[in-house]
């Protein structure tokens, strides 16, 4: 291995990946994904779709999940900085409803592996950010679910600087919280 450093966190399954950066006076080179290295690190997924989004400062996207076609995601920032969050929604998990946040920037080049059955979202902290993610299933337009980004039952501590104006999509202001999610799961 050696090309990537993989760290775990308090929620089993989440992984923070830091690639090796080879730099000199010309710039740098980084291998952002190598199946063999990731497999050796315990991330043995087949990614079938790559996505990229651009957002301005204060944009908060999420917390999203897929209902019938859950996806593993490998996310990173190629421009700017975001605070990336994953919430455990795995039925029977000892950390169900808990969250972990990670600062992803173009400078630190960290990647965040978010397994299936987690809600995911991010807040743009820089003036502008470009966010890339690999997914293990294709996008299904009618399969999206979500949790309210500010649900007290989850308690995500978003690093919102004083004076920052948040920009959310209409749907992201209307999701229910963890309590509503759990009631839906019982049906």
Per-residue 3-state assignment (H helix, E strand, C coil) for 44-91: CCCCCEEEEEEEECCEEEEEEEECCCCCCEEEEEEECEEEEEEEECCC
Q: Is residue 120 among the annotated active site residues?
A: no
pTM of the model: 0.95
Rounded distance, CA 36 to CA 3, Å?
A: 11
Q: What is the rounded CA–CA span in Å between residue 106 and residue 147?
A: 27
pLDDT of amino acid 1: 43
Nearest CA to 53 among 143, 128, 158? 128
Predicted confidence (pLDDT) per residue in 83-127, tens digit: 999 999 999 999 999 999 999 999 999 999 999 999 999 999 999
Spatial distance between the Cα atoms of 47 and 35, rounded to a whole number of angstroms: 10
Query: What is the helix (H) or strand (E) element at residue 173, kind and residue range?
Result: none
Q: In this predicted structure, what is the pLDDT of residue 2?
A: 60
Separation between Cα atoms, residue 169 and residue 88, nearest integer Å: 22
Residue 156 CB neighbour total at 10 angstroms: 22
CA gap 127, 80 in Å, rounded: 7
C-beta of residue 97 within 8 angstroms of C-beta of residue 90 = no
Instruction: Work out the angle at residue 14's Cα, subtended by the Cα atoms of residues 132 and 113, and round it to the nearest 5 degrees.
Output: 20
Q: Is 128 a catalytic residue?
A: no
The single residue of 28, 64, 100, 139 carrying the catalytic annotation is 64
Domains and CATH numbers, the chain: 4-186 (2.60.120.10)
Cα–Cα nearest to 101, from 127, 63, 136, 138: 63
Q: What pLDDT is recorded for position 184?
A: 86
Residues of the chain with pLDDT under 70: 1-2
Strand 73-79 to strand 128-135: parallel, antiparallel, or no bridges (unpaired)? antiparallel
Which run of H or E residues covers position 39? helix 35-40
Active-site residue identified among 83, 100, 120, 133: 133
């Amino acid at each position: 291995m050696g090309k990537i450093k993989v760290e775990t966190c308090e929620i089993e399954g989440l992984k923070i990946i830091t690639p090796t950066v080879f730099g000199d006076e010309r710039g740098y080179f980084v291998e952002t994904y190598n199946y063999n290295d990731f497999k050796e690190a315990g991330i043995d997924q087949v990614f079938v779709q790559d996505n990229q989004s651009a957002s301005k400062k204060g944009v908060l996207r999420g917390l999203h999940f897929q209902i019938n076609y859950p996806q593993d995601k490998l996310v990173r920032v190629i421009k700017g900085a975001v605070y990336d969050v994953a919430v455990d929604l795995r039925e029977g998990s000892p950390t169900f409803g808990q969250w972990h946040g990670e600062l992803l920037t173009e400078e630190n080049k960290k990647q965040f592996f978010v397994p299936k059955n987690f809600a995911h979202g991010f807040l743009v902290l820089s003036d502008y950010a470009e966010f890339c993610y690999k997914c293990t299933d294709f996008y299904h337009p009618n399969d999206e679910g979500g949790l309210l980004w500010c649900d007290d039952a989850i308690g995500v501590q978003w690093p919102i600087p004083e004076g920052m104006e948040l920009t959310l999509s209409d749907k992201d202001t209307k999701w229910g919280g963890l309590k509503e999610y759990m009631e839906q799961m019982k049906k």
